[in-house]
Amino acid sequence: MVMGFYAHSITENASLSDIEVSLNFWAKDLIAEESQKMHLNILESRAILFDTMPEMHQALLRGELDMIIAPPLEIVREFKRDELKDGFTGMLAGNQPDNLYLVVRGDKNISGIKDLAGKRMLLPEDDELAEVFVDSLFLKQFRANYKTKLTSVQKQKKGSRILLDIYFNQADAGVIYRNAYDVMVELNPDIARTVLVLEKLPIKNKNFSYFVKGYPFSVELSKMVITAFKHSVRAKQILDVFRTPELDHCSINELDFYEEFYADYLRLKKGVKP
């Protein structure tokens, strides 16, 4: 099984070298071990990292991939539904979904989007969903692109850095995933009193994993991976790298939400000057 990963969406919590080790050694051994138990003939298991979604798509069209792992909005924009089929995705502890948070400093008198005009904003790097989320909120409120209403917009690679910059008054607002927010609040509970959640976008996970249409072991592997990751020590090592303690089934129909969300965004943009 050859897995294609969108590199920019998986490097927040670990370096590319750590990720490649976990995927090409730990995952390879795990899949080989577990597939033998199910009498599946999987002779190869490796990961390929892609810098762009079009590169990943072309590899799929050439028949070089059996699975893709990428942000769902990026999948919606790059792939056709009939090229993919159900897979799995990570979940937070207790099988809870993630959220995309718009957070603000509690001492800046920000009670709504209208109060963000003239403020300093931080966004995660290489995250189209985060940008569309923020721009949608500003288009609804101001009928203007968010960049035109803010004093500054900067990007950070790590959600923890975004949260700390807001906490230490280096920025007024930012976008961060619930997973990262919860980890930082656990380390420093005062963050929850200083940095407040203004808006939420409910999502299942930052990345979705889908099998390529025609891959013969998709159903068996989905069940195997979800089950194995509950009890295997090696599986837990992999999950630790991605900061996602559980896995769950991910239907291809779960892309509907992102497709509709993006279509709504384009309707908001129509007729609005950049």
Q: What is the CATH number of the domain that holds 12?
A: 3.40.190.10
Residue 59 covered by a domain: yes
Tell whether 59 and 137 lie within a shared domain: no
Residues 6+ apart with CB under 8 A from 230: 246
pTM for this predicted structure: 0.89
Most confident of 234-238, 243-247, 262-266: 262-266
Q: Once rounded to an integer, what is the mean pLDDT over residues 82-111?
A: 93
Domain that holds residue 65: 2-95+206-254
The SS3 of residue 190 is: helix
Question: What share of the chain in percent tops pLDDT 90?
Answer: 65
Q: Once rounded to an integer, what is the mean pLDDT over residues 245-272?
A: 92
pLDDT band at residue 230 under the 50/70/90 scheme: low
Q: So what's the pLDDT on residue 223?
A: 78
Residue 230 covered by a domain: yes
Tell whether 111 and 185 lie within a shared domain: yes
Q: Once rounded to an integer, what is the mean pLDDT over residues 198-213?
A: 95
Q: So what's the pLDDT on residue 231?
A: 66
Q: Once rounded to an integer, what is the mean pLDDT over residues 103-117?
A: 97
In this predicted model, which residue has the larger pLDDT, 210 or 234? 210
Runs of H (alpha helix) within the chain:
16-21, 27-37, 53-61, 72-78, 128-142, 159-167, 178-187, 190-194, 218-231, 233-242, 256-269
Tell whether 27 and 149 lie within a shared domain: no
Tell whether 158 and 235 lie within a shared domain: no
Edge-first strand order for the sheet with 120-124 is 152-156, 120-124, 173-177, 99-105, 195-202
Per-residue pLDDT at 257 exceeds 90: yes
CA distance 255 to 73: 8
Question: Among 106-110, 155-159, 228-232, 255-259, which stretch is predicted with the lowest mean pLDDT?
Answer: 228-232
Q: So what's the pLDDT on residue 224?
A: 75
pLDDT band at residue 38 under the 50/70/90 scheme: low
Residue 17 covered by a domain: yes
Residue 107 covered by a domain: yes
Residue 274 covered by a domain: no
The token pair that represents 12 in the structure block: 């927040």
Q: So what's the pLDDT on residue 241?
A: 62
Tell whether 164 and 41 lie within a shared domain: no
The token pair that represents 183 in the structure block: 């980890």
Tell whether 157 and 218 lie within a shared domain: no
How many domains, in total, are found in the chain?
A: 2
- Angle at which helices 233-242 and 27-37 pack, to 10 degrees? 140
Question: What share of the chain in percent tops pLDDT 70?
Answer: 81
Residue 270 covered by a domain: no
Question: Among 54-63, 182-191, 236-245, which stretch is predicted with the lowest mean pLDDT?
Answer: 236-245
Tell whether 88 and 114 lie within a shared domain: no
Per-residue pLDDT at 26 exceeds 60: no
Q: What angle do CA 227, 228, 233 make, to 5 degrees?
A: 140
Name the average pLDDT for the chain.
88
Residue 216 covered by a domain: yes
In this predicted model, which residue has the larger pLDDT, 181 or 19? 181
End-to-end CA distance of the chain: 44
Tell whether 74 and 210 lie within a shared domain: yes
Alpha-carbon dihedral sign for residues 69, 72, 75, 80 = positive
Edge-first strand order for the sheet with 67-70 is 46-50, 2-6, 67-70, 208-212, 84-91, 246-250
